[in-house]
Each structure stands twice: as C-alpha cells, then as structure tokens.
Amino acid sequence: MIFVLTIFVGALIGALIGVIAEKLISEINSQIIVSRIKFLVTGVALGALFALFVCQRFVSWDLRIAYSALCAGLILQTTVDVLTHRLVRSITHLTGMVGFIFLAINAIRVEENSQLISAVICATTSWCLFFVISKVAPTGLGKGDVRLVPVLGLYLGFLGYNEAILGIFIACSSAGLVGVVLIAVGRGSLKRRFAFGPYLAFGTFICIFAGDALPRLFLN
C-alpha cells in the first residue's frame, strides 16, 4: 500500500512539474514548442522514480520532504536548462529555502547540529568557488549556475563533505567529457553556450542516491 501511494504521489508531483516546465519554457522562449504530452509523461515517470529513490534513501519525514523538494527542483531546472539554457531564479531560491528549513528541523530534532554546519560551510564554499570561476571565465558559467551551486552544496553538505566535493567533481568531469566529445564530433565548440545545470543535477543525484559506492575523502 505504501509502495503504491509513494508512486502515486510522485507521479502527481511529476505531472505538475511537467506543466510548470512547459509554462516556464514558453515564457522564456515562445519559439520552443514541445508537446505537453511529452512533458507530462516524462514528469510522471521521473516523479514516480525519484519518489521511490527518496523513500528508500531517507527514513525521517523531514529529510524526505527536503530531498523530494530538491529532486523536484532539479528535474524542473534541468528540463528548462536543456531547452533554453536558462536556470529559473525563483525555482533555485524556493528549493534552497525549503531545503534549509527542513534540514534545520531535522538537525534540531535529532540534536545533530554538525550536519547543518557542514551544509552551510559547503554551500558558502561552493558559491565562492563558482563565483570566482564565473569572474575569471565569464563565458563558462552563467549566473544561474552560480546561484544553483550553493543550494546543491547545502543539500550535499548535510550528508557530508565527501558528497559535496564529489558532487561538484562529478558534475564538472561529466560536463567536460561531454564537451570534449561534442567538439571532437563537430557538434560543439569552445564558444558555444553550454547548459551546465543538467550536469550539476547528475552529480548531485549520484552522490545522494549512490554515495555509499563512491570513494571516501573524509571520515565523517
């Protein structure tokens, strides 16, 4: 019963994400036309899948809410970024606010403030790093990427420094690898704009749901 309910709720949220994604994309660029059915089907499938992942990964209700919000935000941002090369500021801010509130509730409830401290440290450090990179190489990162990174650092840092560091590393490595391949086959260039949001989401998902299989850089 719980399994079916989890899939149902995840599918509903996924459908809502699909509708919101279509609306945001049309507002950003009305020339981009994608079938609403594709948005709904994709949203329902991803929503149900990540609902199962979150429920298996986390036991407490506050962490399930926090990381469900993160998954929903990243699915939405990835969809928009792939098609428009834009990351929506309000979605990033909302994801960060919901995450901080429920992560703080969990830290207070279980009396484990060290996790919240590491989350804030990772969020601040990742923002500083990407802010400097955006100034040194302004064509490499957009402002949306710089805003999104500290939100991911917050969620990953709550799980541990390993997850935060490896999440950024996986994102940068996968983006660099894909970029090199695209250039090699003649479908990309160093001057062509690159959607980095999907790779940030990829690195984040790997570290949240497969973190136990990754090497340990720190003993938490």
- pTM, 2 dp: 0.91
Integer Cα distance of 125 and 167 in angstroms: 13
Per-residue model confidence (pLDDT) at position 142: 81
Range of the domain at 164: 2-213
Asked if 56 contacts 141 with a C-beta cutoff of 8 angstroms, the reply is no
User: Would residue 220 count as lying in a domain?
Assistant: no
User: Would residue 169 count as lying in a domain?
Assistant: yes
Per-residue model confidence (pLDDT) at position 2: 74
pLDDT average per 10 residues of sequence, the chain (220 residues): 81 92 89 84 93 94 96 95 91 96 94 90 94 78 90 95 92 85 68 78 94 67
- 159: tokens are 């799980």
Asked if 13 contacts 51 with a C-beta cutoff of 8 angstroms, the reply is yes
When divided into structural domains, the chain yields a total of 1
Per-residue model confidence (pLDDT) at position 218: 59
User: Would residue 163 count as lying in a domain?
Assistant: yes
- DSSP structure string for 138-150: TTT--HHHHHHHH
Asked if 60 contacts 112 with a C-beta cutoff of 8 angstroms, the reply is no
Per-residue model confidence (pLDDT) at position 175: 85
